[in-house]
Structures are given as C-alpha cells and as structure tokens.
Amino acid sequence: MKKFFNILRDCVELYIPIAALLIMFCTFVFQIFSRYILNNPVPWAYEVTVMCYLWMVVLGACYAYRDRSHVTFTLFYDQFGTRARAVIAFLGNLLMFIAFAYMFLPSCEMILDQMSKQVTSVFKIGLNVVYFPFIPFMVIIMLYILYDLFVEFMVFTGIGGEKYEKLMSKYDKSEAEEAVDAALEHAEQEKEMERKEGE
C-alpha cells in the first residue's frame, strides 16, 4: 500500500509536471519554427504552453514542498533552539492550514462549477480542466502541513522525544542541503583521519 501511495504521489508531483514541461518545451520550439521558418504561426501553441505551464507549476509546487526546496528566510528562525523553532513553525503552518482550508470549498466550487461553463478559445476545453490541478494541489499541501503540524507538536510538547526532534531537523533542510552537509562532514572526517595518521 505504501509503495502504491509513493508511486501515485510521484506521478502527481513529478511525472505529470515533467511531462507538462516536455510538452511545453516542444510546443514552444515548434511555434518558433512555424513562425520564423515556415512563416505560418500555429494558433494553438500559446494555449498549450500556458496550460502546460500551469499544470507544471501548480503540481511541481507540491514536490517542492515535500523536498523543502521553496525559498525560505531563516536568519532569525535558525537562532532559536529546537523547541522554539517547533513553536514558530507550528504557528506558521497553522496559519497556512487555516488559509488553505478556508479557501478550499470556494475554490472547488469556482473550478468545478463556474469554470465548467467557460472554454478555451482554440481547443474549446473547459476552464475547469485547465485549472483542475489547483484542487489536488490544495489537498496535497494541506496533508503535508497536517503532518508537519503533528511533528512540530510532538517536538515542542516534548512528547515525541529525540526521534521527532531529528525528524524536524531533517525537515528544516532540503535534500540538497542535507547532501552538502553530509559531504562537508565526510571531508572533515577525512581531514581528521589524515591528521591522526600524520601524527
């Protein structure tokens, strides 16, 4: 079940945005070729590019949240201890969850009902299809936020112990930052070993 969930999650957060990027790039190149080489621009290229860009950005943002790849400013946040950071993160995530929960039903109503009555100019696709990724985006982000709230609660209350403190420290960094830290730590260990061998 967990494996199926991970495959489904990767499909939504990775493979669909990758496919959208590929289609968008190919369409963009084809449009340049048609416009400047064949002197015959195609009317549907812009529409495809915009739709693919929307799907790529909205669904790709879910993976960016999972990987902690969004730009964050942590100058003051990093000065606090683990429990204080947990409280700050908990309050911030709580505000985000309230905002997402507040706009969820109106957004669903707008996309599924009102936008279904409007279509795109070239393909005549309903705008509900074009903007549909915003619904899974909100669901996925709210689930991620709920999990973060749980971890942060376990940390600042002390219920979770060292296990959840390590988990939160891991979530404070992206995978790229963790890889850099691991490489630096490995380099320091090698230097230390060389120094001991020299003695």
Q: Which of 47, 69, 91 is the last residue of a domain?
A: 69
The reported pLDDT for the residue numbered 41 is 87
Residue range(s) defining the domain that contains residue 122 = 72-199
Structure tokens at 91: 């309050």
Residues with Cβ < 8 Å from 49, sequence gap 6 or more?
A: 24, 27, 28, 31
Same domain membership, residue 196 and residue 175 = yes
Read off the pLDDT of residues 65-110 as tens digits, 9 standing for 90 and up.
Answer: 988 887 777 777 778 888 888 898 899 999 999 999 999 999 999 9
CA 45 and chain centroid, separation: 27
pLDDT at 173 over 60: no
Same domain membership, residue 106 and residue 29 = no
Segment of 75-79, 106-110, 158-162, 194-198 carrying the highest mean pLDDT: 106-110
Q: Which of 53, 69, 85 is the last residue of a domain?
A: 69
CB 103 within 8 A of CB 135: no
**What pTM was estimated for this model as a whole?**
0.79
Tokens 């689930």, residue located: 143
Q: What is the mean pLDDT of residues 13-36?
A: 94
